[in-house]
Amino acid sequence: MSFTASGDRQSPEVVGSVYQRALGSEFAKLDPHLQRYFGPIPAGCVGSGSGVYEIAGSRLRWLRPVLALIASRHVLFPEFGRDVPFTVINAPGPYGSLSAVRTFEFPERTRIMEDTMTAANGRIVDRLGKRRGLEVTIRVGVVAGALLMTSNRIALRAGRARIPLPRLATMHLVERTDPADPSRQRVDVRITAPLVGEAFRYTGSFAYTIRAAAPDEQPES
């Protein structure tokens, strides 16, 4: 027996992707293009995407010093830009996990966000940052063929310790096939907070393919 990132024991024999296990029968309601994206990645391969985010970052200047503090941990970043080139590498990990590295190419600096996802009890448990020290539990659903994700719990992880935190912000994600180009997909991720409104956002479209993994493309799990 082994355990997931959420601490739940499970068998090493895991069937289906993180999204398939979290969505259950709803996975079949996704647009077929998105089913390929959110489906399983074969061992030894990665999912590789690239595109342009029309908007990326925070418009709130007063929030940027806080974002700068956590940028070194590969969680968020303080920059704000338009037409920002980006790439994403998705790699399957042990016990059915999925790790991702997202790279944002700002004119003066490259920023990275990374995480590892597992599925537990119909939810996605996402550990963020280089050390995977911030844990977010996410509800998932399908509406009109698009994937919807909304965060509902947050905690700090230090070794086996899990420290629940007050929910100061909520993540909302909508991902759908790009109506302008069915071979691409559009993602819109917003982080909102009470009294502040939208604190962070990135949105744009990208193309995605599955290919053999290079040695340096395997994120840590």
- Asked if residue 216 is part of any domain, the answer here is no
Residue 137 has pLDDT above 60, yes or no: yes
CATH number, domain with residue 169: 2.40.128
42-45: long-range contacts (C-beta < 8 A, 24 or more apart)? 42/92, 42/210, 43/92, 44/212, 44/213, 45/92, 45/210, 45/211, 45/212, 45/213
- Asked if residue 212 is part of any domain, the answer here is no
- Asked if residue 90 is part of any domain, the answer here is yes
Confirm if 50 and 187 have CB atoms less than 8 A apart: no
Calculate mean pLDDT across residues 192-212: 95
* Cα separation, 25 vs 47, whole angstroms: 23
- Asked if residue 218 is part of any domain, the answer here is no
- Asked if residue 215 is part of any domain, the answer here is no
Kindly list the distances between the CA atom of residue 214 and the CA atoms of 43, 49, 78, 94, 218, in Å, as whole numbers in the listed order: 12, 14, 30, 18, 8
Residue-number span of the structural domain to which 79 is assigned = 2-7+15-207
Nearest-5° angle of CA 169, CA 171, CA 173? 165
| pLDDT on residue 188 | 98
Residue-wise pLDDT for 153-177, tens only, equals 999 887 788 888 888 899 999 999 9
Residue 55 tokens read as 């908007």
Half-sphere exposure of 217 (CA within 13 A, CB side): 18
Residue 217 has pLDDT above 80, yes or no: no
- Asked if residue 126 is part of any domain, the answer here is yes
How many structural domains are present in the chain? 1
Residue appearing with tokens 């912000």: 169
- Asked if residue 158 is part of any domain, the answer here is yes
What pTM, to 2 d.p., does this model score?
0.88
- Asked if residue 69 is part of any domain, the answer here is yes
Position 59 confidence tier, pLDDT thresholds 50, 70, 90: very high
Half-sphere exposure of 65 (CA within 13 A, CB side): 1
DSSP label of 89 = E
* Cα separation, 204 vs 213, whole angstroms: 25
